[in-house]
Amino acid sequence: MEEEGAEAAPCGRWELVWPAHMRLPPMTVALRIPIPEAPGEVLVAALAERGFDAFARENGELIAYGPAVAWDDDARAAVTGWLAAHGYPTHVDVTEIAPENWNARWEASIAPVVAGPFIVAPTWAEPDDADGRIVLRVDPKMSFGTGHHPSTRLALALLAPRVSPGDRVLDVGTGTGVLAFGALKLGAATAIGCDIDHWAVPNAAECAALNGVEDRFEVRLGDLEEVPETGFDLVLANIIRSVLVPMLPELAARTRPGGTVVLAGLLTIERDRVRAAATAAGLSLIEEAEEAEWWACALERVKDEG
């Protein structure tokens, strides 16, 4: 278990506010841990590494959802040991949850949200006043990317000024495809999205049609190995740090010299580690942004010498 304040992988792939649209495996457990938000991020990081894939806060508790097999004796000992060492109650309430798509219940609570020059909205909620912003339609079902998480908003804001007409875009960990759609709406010619989540492929394809970009967007199931193409003008990745950092050389290799890579899904405490890894991969910082404890950045692939 990492110490409080240490650099750790965040839960950047999940909507912390909305526990209702997570993907549930055949047997899921919900852990309820009474702990304040800031130190709770350390537990989020550790549990994410162990396979827990959705998190929420409710009534002063951290709620972690994951496969029942992930809550084994080792995980239980690590969590309770960390809680005891830092003076928090060691009781963890564990509830088994039957498989269910929570989308219908969640739909009633989600509303349009502003993200940079965009408004991200589901089809069942009409924005009251777009105020000149571009509306991105996303019905998330069981995939990540509604605009309600700071990492999505930060990524949309950072990509917006860096899209040029005719750009080729790659969106790694595409989820609903919302980042790719933002780039396409701003004039990019084509976008490829890839995701290891089986739910993401049909969901992103449906959302592409909602935004009228289905003829310019392609979604592939799998990781970067499913995208052998290179020379992208803009590469987007909103993924947890433990996955993102080892991927940086491959992201750089798929970006044209002088092209842009936008990274999100990261905590502010991870900034220095990610910046160092990006520099080593040949990526130079252009801009960075924060919201609450979340951090994102835009990087330029260093042009080849000569």
- Domain annotation for the chain: domains and CATH numbers: 28-103 (3.30.70.1170), 142-301 (3.40.50.150)
Say what percent of the chain tops pLDDT 70: 84
- How many angstroms separate the CA atoms of 284 and 281, rounded? 9
pLDDT at res. 68: 86
In the block, which residue shows the tokens 């917006």?
Answer: 160
Beta bridge partners of 284: 300
Whether the pLDDT of residue 62 is over 60: the answer is yes
Report how far Cα 85 is from the mean position of its chain's Cα atoms. 30
Q: Please name the amino acid found at residue 266.
A: L
Whether the pLDDT of residue 275 is over 50: the answer is yes
Indicate the pTM of the whole model: 0.70
pLDDT at res. 103: 52
- How many angstroms separate the CA atoms of 286 and 190, rounded? 23
Mean pLDDT is lowest, of 44-48, 220-224, 285-289, for: 44-48
Q: What is the pLDDT of residues 210-221, one digit of tens each?
A: 999 999 999 999
For residues 143 and 295, the model is more confident at 295
How far from 203 is each of 37, 176, 198, 208, 224, CA to CA, in Å? Answer: 31, 6, 9, 9, 19
pLDDT at res. 25: 43
pLDDT at res. 3: 38
